[in-house]
Amino acid sequence: MVQTGGIKYRPGMYTHKRPTGSQLANKHFRDLEKKFIEKKKKEKEPEIYPTICCSRKIGVGALEIADIVAKNIDYKVVDRELLEHIAKEAKLSQKTVSYFDERYPGILNEFAAFLFAEKSFIKSDYNRHLFNVVISLAGLEPTIFVGRGTHLILPRDRVLAVRFICSDQHRIKRLARILKVKEKEAADKLPQLDKEQRSFFKKAFGKKDAVPYEFDMVINCDYIKNTQDAADIVEQAFKRKFAEELS
């Protein structure tokens, strides 16, 4: 989080005002409890829903795009702020994992065993904690994840992985508009935001950055400038990739 012109910038911010991490988490769990009770009455569903994972350069506008897609396909958006809030709050994290374990006994251990054995970047308790939360959320309800490298955590065949990129100039103009500051001030803060993102990827995945070969598609927002157009592309790709399950 970076302080700029009296406004704290959080990755994922855009002009539409969003609730705080705490407010989002409270609403998330109210909705989740209601759905969990309803779904216990129905027959068992797939362990991991078809999922969209959005990776992005900070400031590109991926969260805004995800919100549009989620509204169209009736999915829940879990962004970096909400994910970190749940992962860091022990009670919320345990509740999430417990819901998943109760619904699918033993499945989380199976996923964890595969992840921790096959992916050498999982070295710390923090990573295990975060990854268990991601897997549990993806198995509890249809979800779009934005940020935190979730496409590297979930089973790849259950994910449409999308990378959003753009030029630094595009990001600077957008951040300056959101934060209502001059472009020079936004430009001065961007390297710090990028450094924080790289630091997370190195700590969590042992990687310097995302490479294009990890994704189903890469969208360059310098050329696909309209947010609705980008959302339409993601939505159609998702529906085609998981056509049999979504029909």
pLDDT tier for residue 246 given thresholds of 50, 70 and 90: confident
CA–CA gap between residue 226 and residue 14 (Å, rounded): 14
Structurally, at CATH architecture level, domain 2-9+47-81+143-246 sits in 3-Layer(aba) Sandwich (3.40)
**72 with 231: CB under 8 angstroms?**
yes
Summarize the confidence of residues 9-28 as an average pLDDT.
70
Query: Which residue reads 């809030």 in tokens?
Result: 85
pLDDT of residue 51: 97
Q: Tokens for 220?
A: 């360059």
pLDDT of residue 118: 53
CA–CA gap between residue 65 and residue 152 (Å, rounded): 20
Higher pLDDT, 233 or 40: 233
**245 with 50: CB under 8 angstroms?**
yes
Per-residue pLDDT at 133 exceeds 70: yes
Beta strands in 49-166 (DSSP E): 51-56, 76-79, 143-146, 159-165
pLDDT of residue 131: 83
Summarize the confidence of residues 194-223 as an average pLDDT.
88
Residue ranges covered by each domain of the chain = 2-9+47-81+143-246
Higher pLDDT, 123 or 86: 86
For the chain, give the mean pLDDT: 82
Pairing of strands 2-4, 76-79: unpaired
Residue 87, CA atoms < 13 Å, CB-side half-sphere: 21
Instruction: Identify the weakest region by mean pLDDT among 54-68, 81-95, 114-128, 220-234.
Output: 114-128
- pTM flag (> 0.75): yes
Tell me the range of 25-39, 42-56, 134-148 where mean pLDDT is highest.
134-148
Per-residue pLDDT at 228 exceeds 80: yes
Q: Tokens for 82?
A: 């909400």
CA–CA gap between residue 23 and residue 224 (Å, rounded): 32
Higher pLDDT, 18 or 186: 186
pLDDT digits (tens, 9 = 90+) for 172-181: 999 898 888 8
Tell me the range of 38-47, 79-88, 188-197 where mean pLDDT is highest.
188-197
* Helix or strand holding residue 163 (H, E): strand 159-165
pLDDT of residue 104: 72
pLDDT tier for residue 182 given thresholds of 50, 70 and 90: very high
CA–CA gap between residue 1 and residue 10 (Å, rounded): 5
